[in-house]
Amino acid sequence: MHIVFAASECVPYVKTGGVAEVVGALPKELVRQGHQVTVYVPLYRQVQKHLKERRIAIRSLTIPFSYYNRFATVVNGGTSDGVQFYFIDCPELFDREYLYETASGDYADNAERFGLFCRAVLDSTKLLGVPDAFHIHGWPAGVLAILLRTVYYFDPVLKNVACLLTIHNSDRQGWFPRETVEKLLLPWDVYTVERAEFYGTFDFLKGGIVYSDAINTVSRKYAEEIQTPEYGNGLEGVLRARAQDLRGILNGVDYQVWNPATDSKIAAHYTPERLEGKVACRKDMLHAFGVSNLPEETPVVGMVSRLATQKGFDLLAQAFDQLVQENMFLVILGTGEPYYENLLRGWQERYAHKVAVAITYDETLAHKVQAGSDMVLMPSRSEPCGLNQIYGMKYGTVPVVRATGGLDDTVQEWSAEAETGTGFRFNDYRPEELMQALRHAFASFADKKQWQRLMRNGMARDYSWTKPAKEYIQLYEEIVRRRS
């Protein structure tokens, strides 16, 4: 099969979150399993530095809007691990400092930006290779499914191409004014409550759900959760209506990048059989945060996260006064909501002997935190999949998580008696529950023999892309059959 991915980000070119990790890793595994994959991404300013030369695949595409046209160029990014990359270039829309928003809010023309991207992908495939299926990711690509089943409905080349939408996070839907329908030259019958209308707005993600042949989320548990009011963010009704077409496929991770035995970003390599290198990694990571002489019996709790309520920082704030009374050291790396950035800076100022914070995103430092921490904390309010708990297990860094979404699917509670499990979990979103899980982890850390058993349990787990890719292939085959 030939699969075309359309996504707003992809490692190593551009990344703000988990979408980029999936779009960077899954296509490589699909190629390894014998399929053809092409990936389309906007040519942002951040992408340009990765291109050694500018090879033009399509000189000019005319993209119509309600009262004007825009013009896009398609740049050939070449192949990597067998995956073909193309970049949609429209400088006035994509050559910007940020991807989606500035400190003052979302770009006002995001509907136009990603509407152009989706239409350009469809038109490009007619010249560069029509796929058996489109695999679209998140709200920025949602309008591709709407276009495919409306504007391109009678197109003899594209009308029978299948479409799969992956929901990476139901929080982010792409809400725009109703006039967006006219601006993108979509038929007005898409703007109904059964289709893409959402409380007076035009909703890219909802439209993608309605018009795609199948939908998946990035964990089994999250596929169940988003059909409820607590997690559906208003889309639970349309998702329940499409429950037969909704699957949960757990994300994999790329062990070529995340592996303590080979990772070039950490101070020392180590394996389940030879764990000594983790001690050097802990010392190196603490040094990077300006910390020295921390006793080895003090557990280091690491967090690499977007600083947001969704990630549980409100819960952590409620538990913080209790947490700093414990024998532990907290390391936090990330950026996010200004309130939490300032809160964390205040914690570090008042409790420098207990907390170290880096308000930045640094890929090398993220690897150091995973390798150098003893535990990785993820108290998320919701977590579609989560990757840091999976990275943590591979690095012998024991996860402490709230049992939601992919965290529930991947972390099994440690049993000292049976010596089974990979981490520590709590269910209710309450500070008492969080502290109980952490205290259980701290007590277990004190028994070095048991702790090494727990570390090795996690390091032995296989969350590579091999199995998820097979599940995606089955889903592609199913939706292609429906369209044939």
The pLDDT assigned to 54 comes to 92
Domain count, the chain: 2
- 137 pLDDT more than 80: yes
| All residues at 6 or more sequence positions from 103 whose CB lies less than 8 Å from its CB, including other chains | none
Whether residue 217 is found in the same domain as residue 362: no
Residue 436 shares a structural domain with residue 475: no
Q: What is the 3-state secondary structure (H, E, C) of the chain?
A: CEEEEECCCECCCECCCHHHHHHHHHHHHHHHCCCEEEEEEECCHHHHCCCCCCEEEEEEEEEECCCCEEEEEEEEEEEECCEEEEEEECHHHHCCCCCCEECCEECCCHHHHHHHHHHHHHHHHHHHCCCCEEEEECHHHHHHHHHHHCCCCCCCCCCCCEEEEEECCCCCCCEEECCHHHHCCCCHHHCCCCCCEECCEEEHHHHHHHHCCEEEECCHHHHHHCCCHHHHCCCHHHHHHCHHHEEECCCCCCCCCCCCCCCCCCCCCCCCCCCCHHHHHHHHHHHHCCCCCCCCCCCEEEEECCECHHHCHHHHHHHHHHHCCCCCEEEEECCECHHHHHHHHHHHHHCCCCEEEECCCCHHHHHHHHHHCCEEEECCCCCCCCCHHHHHHHCCCEEEEECCHHHHHHCCECECCCCECCEEEECCCCHHHHHHHHHHHHHHHCCHHHHHHHHHHHHCCCCCCHHHHHHHHHHHHHHHHHHC
For the stretch 166-222, pLDDT in tens is 999 998 899 999 999 999 999 999 999 999 999 999 999 999 999 999 999 999 999
Asked if residue 474 and residue 449 are part of one domain, the reply reads no
Percent of the chain topping pLDDT 90 = 94
Report the pLDDT averaged over residues 466-471.
97
pLDDT, position 102: 85
Are 154 and 237 members of one domain? yes
pLDDT at res. 16: 83
Residue 266 in domain: no
Whether 227 maps to a domain, the answer reads yes
Closest CA to 272 of 257, 282, 259, 284: 259
Instruction: Indicate whether 103 pLDDT > 80.
Output: no
pLDDT at 159: 93
In the prediction, which pLDDT does 171 show? 86
Question: Does residue 118 surpass a pLDDT of 80?
Answer: yes
Instruction: Tell me what pLDDT residue 122 has.
Output: 98
CA-angle at 196, arms to 194 and 200, nearest 5° = 95
Q: What pLDDT digit, counting tens, does each position of 296-317 carry?
A: 999 999 999 999 999 999 999 9
Specify if 260 maps to a domain: no
Asked whether residue 269 is domain-assigned, the answer is no
What is the structure's pLDDT at 18? Answer: 83
The pLDDT assigned to 105 comes to 87
Reply yes or no on whether the pLDDT at 107 is more than 80. Answer: yes
Vertex 332 angle, CA 327 and 338, to 5°: 130
**What band does 427 get if pLDDT is binned at 50, 70 and 90?**
very high
Answer yes or no: do 331 and 422 share one domain: yes
Does residue 365 sit within a domain? yes
Q: 446 and 470 in one domain?
A: no
Predicted confidence (pLDDT) at residue 234 exceeds the cutoff of 90: yes
Specify if 270 maps to a domain.
no
The answer to whether residue 73 is domain-embedded is yes
pLDDT over 70 percentage in the chain: 100
For 3-57, what is each residue's pLDDT tens digit?
999 999 999 999 888 899 899 999 999 999 999 999 999 999 999 989 988 999 9
Over 90: is that where the pLDDT of 130 sits?
A: yes
Q: Looking at the structure, do residues 8 and 104 belong to the same domain, yes or no?
A: yes
Q: Has residue 393 got a pLDDT over 80?
A: yes
- Verify that 222 and 371 share a domain, yes or no: no
- Which CATH number goes with the domain that contains 225? 3.40.50.2000
Is 268 domain-assigned? Answer: no
Q: 13-17, 107-111, 421-425, 480-484: which range is least confident on average? A: 13-17
Residues 255-301 have pLDDT tens digits of: 999 999 999 999 999 999 999 999 999 999 999 999 999 999 999 99
42 and 158 in a common domain = yes
pLDDT tens by residue, 350-380: 999 999 999 998 989 999 999 999 999 999 9
Block residue for tokens 């020295």: 292
- Tell whether 36 and 126 lie within a shared domain: yes
Residues 204 and 114 reside in one and the same domain: yes
Q: Are residues 182 and 293 in the same domain?
A: no
| Structural domain range at position 297 | 277-459
